Structure 1
């Protein structure tokens, strides 16, 4: 399966313009196309997307809220710097939060919630076969949110979603590594099977492995782009 090119114009039409701009810029930041320290010029971005400054500013505000962009005096919006170790640390923490959530969900999800999770997983097959990374990313968000809600612990769910918001761009970008959506879906299948059996410990183990593999996929994808850029 071929990776889809990063084309913000192909995002779902239901998304707000500011959201399409945010997703496109976040992709480019996490993939290394926009390097740390680069200034985000509102006028240039607006021209690129055929947008006024209002949705551009909203997109930049959202990027700043999750730490991908810094607002600096006299320079405006600047791409933040992320070391490889920082990203690895973020994925490690996320893996533990996700594992805790899925362990609780395996014990606490009701039949309707389990059915919803299984249906999302089944629906994702067509997305993977079509190579539709954007659709798979949206499904992936819903898949993990159903697990958070399945903990039946509102505070844990809130914390998990807050961390996911902060890491959303990195988790999206790792799906662009060749073959990653296929492997991601297989890993989801292992998680779903463990939940259906009510095996919380196995579900947690599978989720940790899933997040570790996502981290490795991101490293491989960004390293390949750096090689291509340097070559």
Structure 2
């Protein structure tokens, strides 16, 4: 059975729209996000807006400040690179443990998630691939059977969500990502912990050309969306 993403709640939909606007520069670092203004803009009550802002604050995308409300957090390219380095190490640990501990049922779930990503890749749908890619990585976290590690990996993954989405829009990145997934799956299913760790680390870390692509994408989007 193919993996099917569950429908998003209204607050989750708002959260994704707001974080997308943050990463594309429409909502610039330091900008105040007013609950009522957002509610009016999206045609909803303040309740789902407030829930979305609380979620984004927990993910580090915004800061909740006394008397100022929600403020878009600042993250420099260097800071993003540092976070991706940590993310890569957490994922490597998950992959190493998953290769040793994954159950037959979890193997089937990982393969389902991988095949779902293939469908999105073939459809050239980066947004669908982004959501299904999250499911794929979640399957690896769960298969590590280390709940603390999975919680830490999930928390940082959420913090980097909009930037991982942005990366998928770089030319050929979706196709390359899927090929990297295949190598990761092969290592995990064969019980090769070190191979899985190495492939996941290289899959996630942002260095060299990938770092340059990320910086260029951020810069280009800021030019398209001036303050």
TM more than 0.5: yes
Residues of 2 paired with 1:13 and 1:187: CA distance? 25
Contact 2:10 2:48 in 1 (8 A): yes
Residue 51 of structure 2: aligned partner: 58
Structure 1 residue runs of 4 or more that deviate by more than 6 Å after TM superposition: none
- SS of equivalent to 1:176: coil
Question: Please, what TM-score do these two structures have when normalized by structure 1?
Answer: 0.86
Residue 134 (structure 1) shift: 2.6
Contact 1:103 1:201 in 2 (8 A): yes
Instruction: Choose from 140, 152, 163 the match for 1:147.
Output: 140
Q: Does 1:44 align with 2:40?
A: no
Residues of 2 paired with 1:154 and 1:205: CA distance? 21
Residue 206 (structure 1) shift: 0.9
Aligned length: 219
1:25-44, aligned counterparts within 5 Å? 25-44=18-37
Q: Does 1:218 align with 2:218?
A: no
Residues of 1 paired with 2:216 and 2:173: CA distance? 11
Q: Does 1:15 align with 2:11?
A: no
Unpaired segments of 5 or more residues in structure 2? none
Question: Please, what TM-score do these two structures have when normalized by structure 2?
Answer: 0.87
Instruction: Choose from 150, 154, 162 the match for 2:155.
Output: 162
Superposed CA offset, 1:182-216 (max 9, x none): 22111111111111221111111111111125963
Q: Does 1:199 align with 2:192?
A: yes
Instruction: Choose from 24, 39, 44 the match for 2:17.
Output: 24
1:119-198, aligned counterparts within 5 Å? 119-198=112-191
Contact 1:40 1:77 in 2 (8 A): yes
Contact 1:26 1:63 in 2 (8 A): yes
Superposed CA offset, 1:76-119 (max 9, x none): 21111111111111100000000011011112212221222122
Superposed CA offset, 1:33-70 (max 9, x none): 21111111222211221111111111111111122111
Change (3 A) 1:229 1:40: closer
Residue 109 of structure 1: aligned partner: 102
